[in-house]
Amino acid sequence: MSQDPSCIFCKIVEGKIPSKKVYEDDEVLAFHDIHPWAPVHFLLIPKQHIVSMAHVDASHAPLLGKLMSLVPQLAQQEGCRPYPEGGFRLVTNTGADGGQEVPHLHFHVIGGPRPWLKG
């Protein structure tokens, strides 16, 4: 599994930087955002260093499928109300114009009672 020693998320994966974990297995890590926008706000990342969605190819399809299938389960586990009355927002920023701040593929899962700080 590739890692970037200068990447903050790779350091979190390696345990060099602490995080409040939501979920972890051999391929995936989910942890609470340090600056939450809503009552529920966590990040879901592959442990493998993939820079952004612009760097995803067909070989990543099983990993992305796994990530996406975890979202509803983890969102509800962390406090999002069930669909359709509840729900959540799933956001991934890609590149400078997309607002990506950390060059490691990550998905923001955001939800909970409104109003939220942002969005």
Annotation marks residue 32 as catalytic: no
Q: How many CA atoms lie within 13 Å of 11's alpha carbon, on the beta-carbon side?
A: 9
Question: Within a 10 A sphere around the Cβ of 11, how many other Cβ atoms?
Answer: 17
Which of 49, 104, 106, 108 is labelled catalytic? 106
Distance, CA of 66 to CA of 44 (rounded, Å): 11
Q: Which residues of 76-91 are buried (b: 16+ CB within 10 A; e: fewer)?
A: bebebeeeeeeebbbe
The type of residue at 65 is G
**Residues involved in catalysis:** 106
